[in-house]
Structure 1
Amino acid sequence: MDVNTSRELAAVAAEAARAVGDRLRGAFRSRPEIQTKRDFHDPVTEHDKAAEDGIREVLDRLCPDSVVVGEEGGTRGQGAISWYVDPIDGTANFAVGLPFFCTSIAAAVDGEVVAGVIYDPVRDDEYTAWLGGAVCNGEPLRSAGARSDREAVLLSSYPTPRDLAEDEEGALRRFSRMTQSFATIRRPGSAALKLAHVAAGWSDVAYGTRVNAWDVAAGSLLVTQAGGRYIPLSGSVFEPGGYLACVGGFDLASSVLAEVAGARSAS
């Protein structure tokens, strides 16, 4: 795909993401009723579903011959372009009033992510990536920062409850190694927004398990177009699994995550 078409798709994603911004800002800190999906660790609200419906309306209008793969509504439509939509990535934060959540929308063609937008409605920050670059609110992103674990800020929700259920002893052992190796570890609760912060160089490394394409597709392009590295541990950004991302220049080969992520993937 040519750069201009990629940028046009990024503009479509941005319009769709911003179309639900007012709704999410208005509902934020309203303590909406929470339902659950897989288990009580996996919340959803009426705003997740309504926001996805609003995003689908914009995508259907601006890009009618395409497929929309949404976290809440599943896969609908036909066409050469596939949109991966997470209306609220970080629902648990949104539901209780923690300001770390976002809307994530990515476009893919022939198995390649070609455009993506992550929109933080609380801060009104729009992270946009296409095949020719990555920006935040129009300013170029540069993914640069720490070079080693002992200097780095790691964003990670590992171990998750499911990681602990599968291998509690091993997961806690790996988490202990991460805690001792990195300068700081934070668990902010949104895979997409974590990747946006790595793309911006505001954090150095992001690591996660059990994500889906709608969580990470846009962020993966943001990181790589900003000069960082994104590694899908399942082999593809479109396959459920883990991911590892870091700023450009980070010594991943010497990082404890090279072993931790490898061990988690192998297990």
Structure 2
Amino acid sequence: MDATELLDTAAEAARAVGPRLREAFRSRPQVALKRDFHDPVTEHDKAAEETIRGVLESRFPGSVIVGEEGGRTGSGEPVWYVDPIDGTANFASGLPYFCVSIAAAVAGELVAGIVYDPVREDEFTAAAGGAWCNGEPIRSAGAVRDREATLLCGYPSPLDLETDGEEGLRRYGRMVEAFASVRRPGSTALNLAHVAAGWADAVYGTRAQPWDVAAGALLVRRAGGVYLGDPLAPGDYLAHVGGFDLESSALAGTDVHKR
């Protein structure tokens, strides 16, 4: 399948929900809960995914769609990974750090992806030829060691604290001490896009789903950065700009790096 056509379709689907998300942003939409009170969902998550599915299915009938809200449907190629709002808690409370993430895989390999920031209208795209932001090539380059670097993370999550206990807090403390700055912005896909663009230097998280990381992982790799972990399976992930000294980093002790 042609990666350019897949990317164009993903971009069309992402843009299709931009007006709705911008209009609903800072309207304080009603929030429902999925797993627990740390895991919110709004009517706009579900409606946006329905719109995205409609575009994808119209262009590639019968293809598989794996969505955060609607689960897995279809039986053919390509396989689409869709997060209609990555960073729902931010979106629902009025913090301008969330995005739409769509990736396409063929024969088990990621071939196209977009991370779309509807507030800033930034489109981070990746395919065989490279990675771009709003059509301009991006390069994943920046700091080479912790003390110069900005780390974006979602660790420790409530589940991490439940599983790791005090060690989770100690690990986070080591990161805070080692890095020039540590930030928890709240959107995995947008964090990865920023590392791809060289706007941040590293990102680490646990228990990610493919719809969280697939597009961002492709962005990082196509921009010349490093992504560790399997973006098409649930699990931990670690990404950094090209040239970063991971072996000397506080991140070297994470499970994903050991693998």
TM (normalized to structure 2)? 0.98
Matched, 1:255 2:242: no
- Equivalenced residue count is 259
Shift of 1:65: 3.1
Matching residue within 113, 138, 141 for 2:138: 141
Alignment-derived partner of residue 62 in structure 2? 65
Matched, 1:151 2:145: no
Aligned partners of 2:228 and 2:256 also within 8 Å:
no
Shift of 1:206: 0.4
Q: Secondary structure at the match of 2:9?
A: helix
Matching residue within 14, 28, 31 for 1:31: 28
Any idea what the Cα deviations from partners look like across 1:159-182, whole Å, max 9, x if unmatched?
000110112111011111111110
Alignment-derived partner of residue 243 in structure 1? 237
Q: Secondary structure at the match of 1:29?
A: coil
Aligned partners of 2:196 and 2:220 also within 8 Å:
yes
Matched, 1:12 2:6: no
Q: Secondary structure at the match of 1:80?
A: strand
Aligned partners of 2:237 and 2:256 also within 8 Å:
no
Supply the distance in 1 between the matched residues of 2:102 and 2:148 (Cα, whole angstroms): 32
Alignment of 1:112-191 (within 5 A): 112-191=109-188
Structure 2, unmatched stretches of 5+, are: none
Q: Secondary structure at the match of 1:68?
A: strand
Aligned partners of 2:126 and 2:218 also within 8 Å:
yes
Any idea what the Cα deviations from partners look like across 1:201-257, whole Å, max 9, x if unmatched?
00000000011000000000000000000001xxx2121111000001101111110
Shift of 1:8: 1.4
Supply the distance in 2 between the matched residues of 1:262 and 1:244 (Cα, whole angstroms): 7
Q: Secondary structure at the match of 2:84?
A: strand
Alignment-derived partner of residue 84 in structure 1? 81
Shift of 1:262: 5.0
Alignment-derived partner of residue 197 in structure 1? 194
97-106 or 74-83, which deviates more: 74-83
Supply the distance in 2 between the matched residues of 1:157 and 1:231 (Cα, whole angstroms): 16
Any idea what the Cα deviations from partners look like across 1:22-65, whole Å, max 9, x if unmatched?
00000000000000000000000000000000000000111113
What amino acid is aligned across from residue 56 of structure 1 in structure 2? R
Any idea what the Cα deviations from partners look like across 1:75-128, whole Å, max 9, x if unmatched?
111212100000000000000000000000000011111100000000000011
Supply the distance in 2 between the matched residues of 1:74 and 1:8 (Cα, whole angstroms): 24
Supply the distance in 2 between the matched residues of 1:156 and 1:254 (Cα, whole angstroms): 18
Identity over the aligned pairs, expressed in percent? 66
Which segments of structure 1 move beyond 2 Å, counting only runs of 4 or more? 260-263
Q: Secondary structure at the match of 2:254?
A: helix
